[in-house]
Amino acid sequence: MIMTNLSVLLLVSVDGLVVGNFDGMDALSSVNIFYPVSLITGTLSVMAGVGISTSLSTAMGENDFEKLDYLRGLSLRIIIIMAACVAILQIPVVLLMINSYRLDAKMYALTWQYAIGLMICAPFALISVVGTFQLQIAGKMKALMRLSVMESIANLVFDLLFVGAFHLGVAGAGYGTAAANILRCSATVIYLARYTDMYKSSKRSFSLKDVLKVLECGAPDTAYQLVAAFRNYFMMQIYLSAFGQTAGVIKGVCTFTFSITNVLISGIVGGMRPLTGLLTGAEDRKGLRTLMNQGLRLNLIGAGIATVVVIAFPAFFYALHGVKDIPDGGLLSVRLYAVDFIIVGCNSIFRMYLANRKDSRFATILTLAGNATLPVFAFILSRIAQAPYIFLSYLITDLLVFMASSGRYKWWTDKDKEELNSDEEHVLYMTVRPDQAVDASRAIRAYAEEIGVDRKGVYCAALCMEEMVAYVKEVKKPIS
């Protein structure tokens, strides 16, 4: 998963890197201004991908082959319907959001040029995203890595060809992403059809209720994606007001640093996802707690290292994007943005856990209530502090979500322990005083002879009881 996410990092970041170095800061800014819009159109991909993978992995853990067969057929139909919905619904969404930025003529034109390519590949991207989750739960990590590497290299090659050789500017970056994604989508579908049973099902009829039930499993992550998209949209408005035309550059570099960190975070979450589903389906609560503890520790190490690197060398990331004159407040902005990385990773792990525990409603409400406050904190900070301190709003928001998520996780673990204890065989403990030890021992032996139990084992037990009581009498401690 880490190798796969390294490829994904190149895929999502290469557009900004290429246009920044070939066409300058305005082109780089336009790519990052469109970023929140692309997140909104991608929410249906997250809903379908997480919902399908969670449902399938849980059925695997339950060893319910009939249910698994039904879900495979249901999933294929969900993919087709959702891809069609993305192709249609994205048009009014993109038009409305780009117009709402109130950009000047040059930036408006650049943003639309980039948007066209991403709109072309949006339905194909949904199929690829769902396929990624299906490959994860099928244990095809090497295949997933190869597909991701292929797409990221293809995106880089197409971008360099369209932007560098053909001089299509920021539009070329959009077309390059579309070409690479269509290639990835085709290869994913072919692999899943030939080497897995994800598209194979004997069922032909499906209920709308089951469709909604599958999609509900993806609701927490979808809510996070949707809120993240809208909060990025509103945050971009605040950035443009605070930083001016350079806002897209600063936010783009910050997003790139998080993408690097997310290589580790998503690698941990992706590696945990199939195990979490299997352990939840098998009702192995102890194993689930162990897995969560390991995941949180790995996140602390991985995200912690990334945070230190970003805080120590922020100028390096501007240089990667071809930015020679760093905007005012640019270095401090990146440093303040990085302090939130560890908390983001923890929240991702908790969100996956709650989705598998079918606690989707709580996770969804928490995500909506917590992350929706980000623009509010950002707006307040923009009024009382210098522009770079706006980035502290991410830490404030995610800390609130972390406290609520960790509290809910503790509630679930306490509930599991109570259920485990209630299922155990109750043992009656009787207090034996030292002066009663011999009489109790005799009573045990007499009862054993009466019912015909083997004497040897009973006499050993009676003798052990006498010896234990004698020892307690000597050290003057009570025994039960």
Residue 324 has a pLDDT of 86
Q: How long is the chain? A: 480
Confidence of residue 283 (pLDDT cuts 50, 70, 90): confident
Q: What percentage of the chain has pLDDT greater than the value 70?
A: 88
Whole-model pTM over 0.75: no
Residue 72 has a pLDDT of 94
Confidence of residue 480 (pLDDT cuts 50, 70, 90): very low
Q: Is 92 exposed, middle or buried (0-12, 13-18, 19+ CB in 10 A)?
A: exposed
Residue 109 has a pLDDT of 94
Cβ–Cβ under 8 Å, residues 188 and 46: no
Cβ–Cβ under 8 Å, residues 264 and 2: yes
Q: Does 424 score more than 90 pLDDT?
A: no
Dist CA 358 CA 269 (whole Å): 17
Q: What integer best gives the mean pLDDT of the chain?
A: 86
DSSP state of 7: H
What crossing angle do the helices spanning 208-217 and 43-62 adopt, rounded to 10°?
100
Write out pLDDT tens, residues 93-140. Answer: 999 999 988 888 999 999 999 999 999 999 999 999 999 999 988 889
Confidence of residue 426 (pLDDT cuts 50, 70, 90): very low
Write out pLDDT tens, residues 334-389. Answer: 999 999 999 999 999 998 899 888 887 787 788 777 777 889 999 999 999 999 99
Residue 158 has a pLDDT of 95
DSSP string, 8-23: HHHHHHHHHHHHHHHH
Cβ–Cβ under 8 Å, residues 392 and 312: no
Residues 6+ apart with CB under 8 A from 32: 16, 248, 249, 251, 252, 255
Residues 6+ apart with CB under 8 A from 447: none
Question: What integer is the mean pLDDT of 37-43?
Answer: 85
Residue 22 has a pLDDT of 94
Q: Does 160 score more than 80 pLDDT?
A: yes
How crowded is residue 430: how many other Cβ atoms within 10 Å of its Cβ? 6
Dist CA 348 CA 190 (whole Å): 30
